[in-house]
Each structure stands twice: as structure tokens, then as C-alpha cells.
Structure 1
Amino acid sequence: MAYLLLVVGFALLIKGADFFVEGSSRIARTLHVSPLLIGLTIVAFGTSAPEATVSIVAALEGSAGVAVGNVVGSNIFNITLVVGLTAILNPLKVENETIRKEIPFTLLASIALLVLVSDIALQGLSGNVITRSDGFIFLLFFLIFLYYIFEVAMNNRDKAKEESVPSERPSWGKNIALTVGGLLAIILGGHFVVDSATEIAISFGMSETLVGLTIVAIGTSLPELVTSITASIKKESEIALGNIVGSNIFNILFVLGTASSISPLGVEGKIVVDIMLLILLTILLLIFSRTKYTIGKIEGLILASAYVLYMIYIIMRN
């Protein structure tokens, strides 16, 4: 029964995120909101909604390992396998703004996470905990990121007006139904995934953190994978990479910030190694992005292979 609920939960998360993004994007376009602002906010929130729901639900239910492992595992999955596969399909062109600001901001968020979870090493405490105070710090960083997004959107507002075309009469009822229905599906799916994944972990003797880093992280990252591969096939590589970078920032700052603000998250010592790896992979992504402003097929293969090696490592570690 737990396996069935896990599959149903993932299906609700993925389809719910799809409905939420579609409905809310239509509403935003109807209200003449900048397309850039839609992409940086609604799409980023929509594809990260599964991670947010799972981690917040896990925090409320006292499954801190699932909450933290889900975020770290999802970010590693995004940088390695998602970017890797999309680059293998079509080389990813990287915008200058992404290299100068967005990827470095992702790196900063990852380093902040490492510092805030290293209580044993830095403060000599008996355990590593993401406290409520840490959560508020993450949320403050997130507000800074939102301010940056709105600045970018305002600078591109005139261009958006020039490119806008008259649209057909909006269907408010359908759009609101898609948005609300998608959100409800995400919430329900989150409950199913956390409960069933925790039950499976206990039955196999796996730690909650390992389940969060693997099963839950891969499942909740499927919207990013589908979105980025679709964008790559359509030759919209800026969207593909922007989606990943934006989602990773959202996952650390908003998801962990909100989850730890609700309930302090105890962190296993092993996760510190995974966070360090996340930082190294983010630096590698920045280096690859700076080579001719493109992530090519060979670089994509290197990133995808890195995820396979990482999976082997954490399974053996457990």
C-alpha cells in the first residue's frame, strides 16, 4: 500500500504543479504581468512546489531527515542530471546575467546552508540543527532574491509591452480552477509522498535522510526535469537553465526557510558532505557556463555521470 501511495503522491505532485503553473500563468498574462516576471516567479514556484510541500509537511510531522535531504538531493539532481540531460539533447546557451548574478546567488545560498548546519564543527554543539532563527535568515535572503527579480522585471517591462499581443477573452473560472486544483493536488500529494516514503524507509532499514536524498528528491524534481527537457527540445535553452538555477535558490531559501521556521530541523552529520558536494557542483556549473557561454554535450555528459557516481556513493554510504 505504501508503494501505491508513493506513486499516487508523485503523480499528484507532478500533475498538480503542471496545473498550477498553467492556471496561474494564464491569470498573470491576463493581468498584463511581464512574461519575464511570470517565468522567474510563478514557473519557479510551480516547479519547486513539490519540494516545498514535501519538506514543509515533513517538518510538521517531525521527519527532518526527509525535509533537508529532499532539498539537498533535489538541488544535486537538478545541477547534474537535469542540466546534464538537457545539454546532451541541445547545448545550453547561458545568459550573461545568469553567470554574473543567478548562479553566484545559488552558490551563496548553498554556502549559507553549509554554515548554518555546521553547529558541531563551528559551535561545538552536540548536534546540527537548522533553527527557527536560521529559517528567518534564509527567508530574508529570499526577499533579497525577490527584490532582484522585480528589478530585472521592471528593467524589461518596456520590452515585454512591445512583444505582447492581444489575447482572447480570458476564462477566469477555468484558470482559477486550474490554479486552486493544482495547489490542492500538490498538498495532498506531498502528504502521500512523505508518509509512504518514511514507511518504506523504516521497512528497509534506510535512514530518512537517504530516502530524502534519493526517492523523494528524484520524485519532486520531475517537474524541473520535464520543464527543462521540453524547453531544450524547443531550443529555449535560457528557460531550461534559468528554471534550474531559480528552483535551486527557491529550494534552499524559501523551502528550508519556511520548513525550519515552522519547526527546527535536526540534521544528520552525513548531510554536511552532500552540501559540500552541492557547492562543488555549483562551482563546476559556473565554470562550464563561462566556457563560451554554453554548456555543451560533453559537459552535460560529465554532469549526468556525476549524478550516477553520487547515487552509487550515497547508497554504499548508508
Structure 2
Amino acid sequence: MAYIVLLIGMALLIKGADLFVDGSASIAYQFHIPTFIVGLTIVALGTSLPELSVSVTASLAGSNELALSNVIGSNIFNTLVVVGCSALMRPFLIDRQIVKRDLLWNILITFVLLLAVFNHRLNWINGVCFLVLLTVYIVSLVRDTKAHEPKENNEDDEAKIMPVPKSVALICVGVAGIILGGNLVVDNATWIAQTWGMSETLVGLTIVSVGTSLPELVTSMVAAKKGESGLSLGNAIGSNIMNITFILGVASLSSTIQVTALNLIDIVILCVIAVFLYFMTMRSEKMSRARGLLMLCAYIIYAIYIVWR
């Protein structure tokens, strides 16, 4: 039965992500908001809700390894698999503003997390710092948006515009599908994994992190297929930033999270991956299929490492 519910959850994720992309893109064109801004905020937050639910619940329940490893694993998955699969499906040009602003923010926040865990725990002070960083980041998005004059929609953009009530309805239904589907996938995949005798840390870095990142993966691949490359890359990077600042921020406020030596190693790896993505995008404006394949291979190597250790 668990396997059937798992498939139902995946179906809900796919359909929910499809509706969410349509509604978000429509609102972006309607109000002259760049699609990458939508991806870095609304879509990123919506697709990060499963991680929030898992990490806060785990933190309150005292499952510290699951609370932190879920976020770390999700960010690694977002960077290597979500962006990699999007590039394999449809190579896209990288917006320079995302590179100069959002990828640098991603590096900064990841290294702030690394510094925060050196005392082997995350407490309410760290939570407040993360939420302050999130506020500053969102303010910078708003300022950058106001600094650039909106461009007139072309005919293709106009064709994607739907009435605002319909767009909002699609977003709400999409979020509901994403959250419900993500929870079904995580709950049942975790139960299946535990019957195989996996540790909590390994479950958090693999089954749970992949399960909670399925919304990002599906949403970004749907966006890439529809030509919304701004949503595709923006959603992945925005989710990484949200995972650390918002999810760990709220989870740390809820309860102190203990950090293990393995968590510290994984965060160092996450820092290396964040820097790797930045320099990759600096070398060329195009995310090619070859780069996507390279990122997927890197994730496979990481997955083998965490299972082996």
C-alpha cells in the first residue's frame, strides 16, 4: 500500500507543479514582474514548504539529525540534480542578475551556516540571524526590481496572461498539490527506507531530502520545458536560500538543533558546491546539457559517498 501512495504523491507533485508554474508566470506577466523574481520568492517558498514541515516537526520531536540533514541534502539535491535535470531537458541562458546577486547570496548564506555550526548547535540566536538575512535578501530583490524599468510584454507573453482570480486559484491548487504530494512521498518513502534499516542521518540526506526536493525538481523541469528558464534556475537557488534562512531559522527558534561531525562535513561539501556553481556560471552564460550531466554525475558521487560512510 505504501508504494501505491508513494506513486499518488508523485502524481500530485507533478500536476501541482504544472499548475503552480502556469499561475506564477501569468501573474509575473500581468504585473510586469520578472519571472526569475517570482521563482526566487513565491515559487521557492511554495516548493520549500515540505522541507519546512519536516524540519520543524523533527526539531520539535528532538530528531535533530533529520531536521538539519533534510535541509543540507535538499540544497545539494537542488543545486546538482534540479539545475542539472533542467539543463538536460532544455539548455538555457543564465540571467546575469541571478549570477551577480542570487548565486552570491547563496554562497554567503551557506558559509554563514558553516560558521554557525562550529559550536555544534543551532539555537534561537542563529534562527534570528537567518531570518534577518532572509529579510535583507527579499528587500534587495524588491529594490532591484524597482531599479529596472519593466519591459512591455510581447505577444507571446500576452498569450500566457490569465485573469488574476484564475491565476491565484491555480497557484493555490498547485501549492496544495505540492504540499500534499510532498508529504505523501516523504512519509511513505521514509517508512520504506526505515524498513530497510537505514540510519536517521542517511534517511535525511537521501530519502527525505530527495522527497522534499521533488517539488523543486518537478517545478523546475516543467518550467524549463515551457521555456521559463528564469523560473527554473531561480526556483532552485531561491529554495536553497529559503531552506537555510527560513526553514532552519524557524526550526532553530522552535528548538535547539544539535550538529554532528557528519553534518559539518556535509555543510562543507555544500559550500564547495555553491562556489562550484557560481564559477561555472561565470565562465559561460549558457547552462548546457554537458554541464547538466556533469552536475548529475557529481550528485551520484556524493550519494555513493554518504551511503558508503
Q: How high is the TM-score relative to the length of structure 1? A: 0.81
| Unpaired segments ≥5 residues, structure 2 | none
> Partners of 2:289 and 2:205 in 1: how far apart?
26
Q: Deviations over 1:141-187 (max 9, x none)?
A: 1001110111122224x415666859988474x66665555555555
Distance 1:168 1:71, change over 3 A: closer
**Alignment partner, residue 259 of structure 1:** 251
Matches within 5 A, 1:289-308: 289-308=281-300
Task: Give the aligned partner of residue 93 of structure 1.
Answer: 93
8 A Cα contact 1:18 1:46, kept in partner: no
Pairs aligned (count): 306
Q: Using a 3 Å threshold, how does the CA distance of structure 1 residues 96 and 35 change in structure 2: closer, same or farther?
A: closer
Name the aligned partner's letter for residue 68 of structure 2. Answer: V
2:279 aligned residue: 287
The yes-or-no answer on 1:145 pairing with 2:137 is yes
Specify the alignment match of 1:105 in structure 2: 105
SS of structure 1 residue aligned to 2:261: coil
- Contact kept? 2:190, 2:207, Cα under 8 Å: no
Contact 1:26 1:175 in 2 (8 A): yes
- What does the per-residue CA deviation read over 1:116-138, in whole Å, with 9 as the maximum and x for residues that have no partner? 1221xxxxxxxx22112111111
- 2:302 is aligned to 310
1:41 — aligned with what?
41
Q: Give the drift of 1:312.
A: 0.8
C-alpha displacement at 1:284, in angstroms? 1.0
8 Å contact kept, 2:92–2:287: yes
Instruction: Tell me which residue corresponds to 1:123.
Output: none
Aligned to 2:58: 58
SS at match of 1:221: helix
- When residues 197 and 116 of structure 1 are mapped into structure 2, their CA distance, relative to the original with a 3 A threshold, is farther
Give the CA deviation at 1:223: 2.2
Stretches of structure 1 lacking an aligned partner (at least 5 in a row): 120-127
Contact 1:10-1:220 within 8 A present in 2 as well: no
**Number of the residue aligned with 1:268:** 260
AA in 2 matched with 1:71: V
Q: Residue by residue, what CA displacement relative to the aligned partner does 1:183-218 show, whole Å, maximum 9, x if unpaired?
A: 555555565556545544543332222111111111
Whole-angstrom CA distance in 2 between matches of 1:285 and 1:183:
28
- Is the aligned partner of 1:67 residue 2:67? yes
Kindly report the root-mean-square deviation, in angstroms, between the aligned alpha carbons of the 2 structures. Answer: 3.1
Aligned twin of 1:76: 76
Give the TM-score normalised by structure 2.
Answer: 0.83
Percent identity, aligned pairs only, is 42
Q: 2:146 aligns with which of 145, 148, 154?
A: 154
- Asked if the contact 2:14–2:219 (Cα under 8 Å) also holds between the matched residues in 1, the reply is no
Alignment check: 8 A CA contact 1:107 1:283 kept: yes
Deviates more, 1:182-191 or 1:43-52: 182-191
For 1:124, the equivalent position in structure 2 comes to: none
Query: Whole-Å Cα distance in 2 between the matches of residues 226 and 184 of structure 1?
Result: 15
Q: Is 1:87–1:296's contact at 8 Å kept on the other side of the alignment? A: yes
Select which of 188, 198, 206 maps to 2:198. 206
Matched ranges for 1:201-240 at <5 A = 201-240=193-232
Q: Distance in 2 between matches of 1:65 and 1:24?
A: 34
Change (3 A) 1:104 1:19: same
* Residue 282 to residue 38, structure 1, CA distance change in 2 (3 Å): closer
Given that residues 182 and 211 in structure 2 are in contact (C-alpha distance below 8 angstroms), is that contact kept between their aligned partners in structure 1?
no
Q: Is the 8 A contact 1:201 1:208 kept in 2?
A: no
**8 Å contact 2:39–2:238 — kept in the other structure?**
no
What is the one-letter code of the residue matched to 1:73? G
